[in-house]
Amino acid sequence: MTRYADTSLNIPVFILFFLLMICINVFSFAFAQPIERIEIPSSLNPVGSGARALGMGGAFISVADDATAASWNPGGLIQLETPEISAVGAFFHRSEDNRVGTNPEASGDQGVSKNRQNYLSAAYPFTLFNRNMIVSLNYQNLFDFSREWRFPFIQESERLSVSQNIDYRQEGNLFAIGLAYCLQITPDISSGFTLNFWEDGLYDNQWEQNTYQHGSGTYVGYPFTSESSSYDRYSFSGFNVNLGFLWNVNSKLTLGAVFKTPFEADLTHESGFNSSLNFPDYPAANSTASISSIEDENIDMPMSYGIGLAYRFSDQFTASLDIYRTEWDDFVLTDAYGNETSPITGRSINESDIGPTHQVRMGAEYLLIKPTYVIPLRAGVFYDPAPASGSPDDYFGFSLGSGIAYGRFIFDIAYQYRFGNNVGSSSIYP
C-alpha cells in the first residue's frame, strides 16, 4: 500500500477564524469522498453471450447448441458436429431517469451509448477412445461499467451557499478467457466445464471512475470558488470454473444445468483526489490539496447456478425456460486494512441486508425452413433482479431476434429492452 499527499495553504492570522469556519463548512464538502462501492450499471447477472440466446430472452441453458454454449452451459457444446468460429458484437444505449428528493436540481435523464466486442470463440469437435468430445477457446465480455452523469448540485444553509456542477464518468469492462471441454457420456447425456481466466495483463480487465466538480458560493457574504477532481481505477484478476450438463430426456424434452464456482479476485485500487479553494477577497488564503494511493484489495465473487428446460414441439418450434440464482450475500470487498464491506452498498456486511437474486427467463424460436436457407424468429421475456439493500431491485425486459442461416454461415441479430422503476436506492451514498 502506497499513499502520497500534498497540501499547500497560506493563512493570514487575521482571517484564521474565518477560514476555520469555511474549512468546516466548505472544505470538508469539497474533500468529501464517497464510500467505496462497485458500480456495475449493466445487468449484474450476465449468464451468457450471443445474439441467438439474447433473442430468446436468455433462456438458453437447456438449448446451448452453438459456440456460445461455453458461457451458458458447457455441457451443450457436444451438440456442435463440425468446427465452428463465432464472433459477437454488441451496441447498447443505457438511459437513467434519476430522482434526488433532497436536491431536485440534480434530478434528470442521463444516458450513455457504446459498442463493443461481446464474444469470440473457436470450437473443435473430435473423437477419442470411441467418445465424442469437443474443446473450445472463448473470449467473453461479462460486465460493462459505462456510465455518464452530469448534473448541478446546490448546498444551502444559513451561512453557506454553494452551487456545484458535477461531471461523473465511469468506463471499463471485465472479460474472461475461457478454455472449455465437453464429453458425451452417453448418447443422451453430456457434461463439460469452462476454465475462466479473468486476468488483467492479457487484456485490460479494469474499470475507472472519474469525478470532476467546480462551482462557487458565499460564506456569510464572502465569495469563493472551488474545484476538485478524483479518480478510482481498479484492475481485476481471478479464476473460476463453469460446470454444466445436458440431458436429452426424450426426442422432445431437454434438461440442462450449470454451476459457476465462487472465487476470490485480486483488485489493485489506484485512487487520487485534487481540490482547490480560492477567495477573491483574500488571495493569501487560497489553498490546494492532493492525495493519491495504491492499495491491494480482494473481492469475493459469488457462486451462481441455474437449471433450464427446453421443449421441441416440432423441428421448427422450440420453447425454453431458465431459472437462475446468484448468492449476492457472499459478494464481499476486503480493503487493504482487512475491513469487509458490501460492494453493493459500500457499508459493512452487518449493515448491508443483501440477499440472493432469482432470474426467470422464457423464450421461443420458430424456424422458417427453406430449401437453401433458414430464417429464425425469436422472442423472449425475463425477470432480471439486481441485488439491493433490503430486497432486490426489480428489472424486467423482453427481446426479439432473427437472422439467417445459409450453408455453414449463420448470422443472428437480437434486440433487448430492460427496464426498472424505483431502483438504485443502494447506489445513493449516505
CB atoms under 10 Å from CB of 44, counted, come to: 21
Strand-pairing partners, residue 288, are 8, 276
Cell (9 digits) for 155:
448546498
Strand-pairing partners, residue 310, are 254, 320
Contact (CB, 8 A) for 234 and 206? yes
Contact (CB, 8 A) for 60 and 112? no
3-state secondary structure of 329: helix
Question: Which pLDDT does position 107 carry in this prediction?
Answer: 79
Question: Which pLDDT does position 50 carry in this prediction?
Answer: 86
Question: Which pLDDT does position 420 carry in this prediction?
Answer: 84
Q: What are the sequence ranges of the domains in the chain? A: 2-427
Question: Which pLDDT does position 36 carry in this prediction?
Answer: 61
**CA 110 – CA 94 distance, rounded (Å):** 8
Q: 345-371 burial string, b = 16+ CB within 10 Å, else e?
A: bbbebeebebeebebbbbbbbbbeeee
Question: Which pLDDT does position 93 carry in this prediction?
Answer: 80
**Low-confidence residues of the chain: pLDDT under 50:** 2-34, 428-430
| Integer angstrom CA distances of residue 317 from 193, 378, 382 | 28, 10, 19
Grid-cell match 448546498, residue found: 155
Read off the pTM. 0.84
Question: Which pLDDT does position 48 carry in this prediction?
Answer: 81
Cell (9 digits) for 83:
468446427
For 170, residues 6+ apart whose C-beta sits below 8 A from its C-beta are 39, 41, 145, 146, 147, 148, 207, 208, 209, 210
- Mark out the alpha helices in 226-352 (DSSP H runs): none
**pLDDT tens per residue, range 377-406:** 999 999 999 888 888 989 999 999 999 999
Instruction: Compute CA 125 distance to the chain's CA centroid, rounded to the nearest angstrom.
Output: 32
**CA 70 – CA 48 distance, rounded (Å):** 8
Q: Specify the DSSP class assigned to residue 34.
A: P
For 261, residues 6+ apart whose C-beta sits below 8 A from its C-beta are 240, 241, 242, 243, 303
Contact (CB, 8 A) for 111 and 143? no
Contact (CB, 8 A) for 301 and 44? no
**CA 192 – CA 152 distance, rounded (Å):** 52
Q: Specify the DSSP class assigned to residue 57.
A: T
Provide CATH code, domain 2-427: 2.40.160
Cell (9 digits) for 86:
463465432
Residue type, 130: N
Average pLDDT of every residue of the chain: 85
